[in-house]
Amino acid sequence: MTASHTVDVLLDDTLLTLNRAVGVLRRRNLAVERLAVRPCGPTGISRMTFVLNTDAATADRVVQQFHKIVGVRAVEVTTVQNHTTEEQP
């Protein structure tokens, strides 16, 4: 059953680490609904947030792949079943 999975990734603030992280999504050809990267907490750390609309097993596999990236500090998933969102104007 598909659900909306919001994945928060804390990672080193370097282009290579970010590139490698995005590559995990690209390689699996996953439909990413939103993606944002912003500075977070201490200097040199970024927070990357993206939303996947997929089943729990796929979301878990993505999370496990993110854990393997050198430079990724933490990965957290929030899952919302049957949620409704409204586009902001």
Partner 1 sequence: MTEILSGAHILCRTLVEAGVDVLFGYPGGAIMPFYHALSEYPSLRHILVRHEQAAAHAADGYARAGGRVGVCVATSGPGATNLVTGLATAHMDSSPVVAITGQVSRSMIGRDAFQETDIVGITLPITKQNYLVQDAAELADVVRDALAVAQAGRPGPVLIDVPKDVQNQKVAFSPAGVGARVGAQHAAPLPDDGVRQAAELIAAAHRPLLMVGHGVILASAYAEVRALAEKTGMPVITTLLGISAFPEGHPLHLGMPGMHGEVHVNRAIQRADLIVGIGLRFDDRVTGNLAAFAPHAQVVHIDLDRSEIGRNVRTAVGIVGDAAAVTRRLVAATAARNCDPWRAEIEGCRRPPDASFRGGMAPEAILTAIRDATAGECTIVTDVGQHQMWVAKLFPYRRPNTHITSGGLGTMGFAVPAAMGVHLARPGEPVWAISGDGGFQMNMAEMATMVQEGLTVKLAVFNNGYLGMVRQWQQFFHGKRYSCTPIWSPDYVKLATAYGIPGYRVQEASELTDVVGRANAEPGLALVEFVIEQEANVYPMIPPGGSLSEPIEATV
Interaction site with partner 1 (CB under 8 A):
16, 19-20, 23, 27, 57, 60-61, 64-65, 67-74
Residue that has been written with the tokens 């050198």 in this structure: 70
- Shortest Cβ distance from residue 83 to partner 1 (Å)? 25
The distance of closest approach from Cβ of residue 42 to partner 1 in the complex, given in angstroms and rounded to an integer, is 16
Integer Cα distance of 83 and 7 in angstroms? 16
Whole-number Å distance between alpha carbons of 3 and 53: 5
Smallest separation (angstroms) from partner 1 to the CB of 24: 9
Backbone angles phi, psi at 54, to 5 degrees: -155, -175
**CB-wise, 2 or 19, nearer to partner 1?**
19
Nearer to partner 1, 60 or 85 (CB): 60
User: How far is it, in rounded angstroms, from Cα 20 to Cα 65?
Assistant: 11
